[in-house]
Amino acid sequence: MKKILAAALVLIAGAAQAGDVYGVWQTETSEKGSFLHVRVGPCGDKVCGVIDKVLGGGDESITGKTIIWDMADQGSGAFNGGKIWAPDTDKTYKSKMALNGDTLQVSGCILGGAICRSQNWSRVN
């Protein structure tokens, strides 16, 4: 019985950690002055993000597009194994995220992590 209870607590703790990242996040402002609101939430047992709004004069046709997918919760606010689409380059990169309070650091890398770009997103809600 103790083992079952311990396993249940681990599952609940994992779900709570993944849930902490759920919500709407604002990207950093692009060189052209636009930024996005990205709605992060569950997609199966992974974490995904969809462009909720384009603000500051950007291309609104990307609203509703998936920007983050297949992020696996590693615990302690770390997520990896996913992909991110960069609207400014129209390229997809291997990605990881790190949650620290109301800041979400999102990174996309190529060449086995040799070249990476990162942004700090701010929680909207």
Q: What is the pLDDT of residue 13?
A: 38
Q: What is the pLDDT of residue 18?
A: 62
pLDDT by residue for the chain (125 residues), tens only, comes to 444 333 333 333 334 446 699 999 999 999 999 999 999 999 999 999 999 999 999 999 999 999 999 999 999 999 999 999 999 999 999 999 999 999 999 999 988 878 899 999 999 98
Q: What is the pLDDT of residue 111?
A: 87
Q: How many helices (DSSP H) and strands (DSSP E) are in the chain?
A: 1, 8
Q: What is the pLDDT of residue 66?
A: 98
User: What's the pTM value of the predicted model, to 2 decimals?
Assistant: 0.83
Can you tell me the distance from the alpha carbon of 22 to that of 74, in angstroms, rounded to the nearest whole number? 15
Q: Evaluate whether 104 touches 28 at the Cβ level (below 8 Å).
A: no
Provide DSSP, 26-59. EPPPPTTS-EEEEEEEEETTEEEEEEEEEESS--
Domains of the chain with CATH codes: 2-123 (2.40.128.520)
Q: Evaluate whether 84 touches 106 at the Cβ level (below 8 Å).
A: yes
Q: What is the pLDDT of residue 112?
A: 82
56-85 exposure pattern, b = at least 16 Cβ within 10 A, e = fewer? eebeeeeeeeebbbbbebbeebebeebbbb
For residue 106, which of 5, 59, 123 has the smallest C-alpha distance?
123
